[in-house]
Chains A and B, each alone.
Chain A
């Protein structure tokens, strides 16, 4: 079983839609959690950290459920520019990446 698992998608949504990505992790001792965004052939860039209380950054909301070892990312009012691969990342003392979920926002 992979340490961090994501549905690879792709998720194809129209502009303005709300889309949610999920991620599960296997190491219950994981210390911190992140969502990264990666554009085609570019390096990953930190989108947001994920906290147990849930956190929001504009149209993006991240949630963490430690009991279920589950992380989510919600994107509201999708824009064409949100098209990218979203990587779920878990810090176990070193960063472990999920495979990524591809989002394609259509006009």
Chain B
């Protein structure tokens, strides 16, 4: 099994550009989420989904959109990139309820200039 796959691994954007970070899992996990990690801030929840067709906001949702059309995929869209969105982004998934912990993708390192 591939687990959780994130693409791209690295990306440089100009301010104002839009892009989509891809996340796919092959473990039939219902629960998927996106985090960003900044120095000294830990991981902060952006958006999450408890199943196909259902999404909700986390702690820092502004500037990001998500959709969940299938169980496998949970893309994160940056609408108009800003330097404040420079960060490392992690996608994670788990069986519904989270009692078993999350499996993380390897991350996307995004720089907005």
Which residues of A are at the interface with B, using a C-beta cutoff of 8 A? 8, 31-32, 34, 36, 41-46, 49, 87, 89, 91, 93-100
B residues sitting closer than 8 Å to A (CB atoms) are 33, 35, 40-45, 48, 58, 88, 90, 92, 97-107
Name the contact of B102 in the complex, choosing from A31, A41, A46 (C-beta under 8 A): A46
Is the beta-carbon distance between B98 and A91 smaller than 8 angstroms? yes
A97 and B98 alpha carbons, distance in the complex (Å): 13
> Told that A42-B106, A44-B102, A49-B100 touch, could you supply 10 new A-B pairs with CB distance under 8 A?
A31-B97, A32-B99, A34-B101, A36-B101, A43-B106, A44-B43, A46-B102, A94-B33, A94-B98, A98-B42
Minimum Cβ distance to chain A for residue B14 (Å): 24
9 sample A-B contacts, Cβ–Cβ < 8 Å, listed by A number? A31-B97, A43-B90, A43-B105, A44-B90, A46-B103, A94-B48, A95-B33, A96-B45, A98-B42
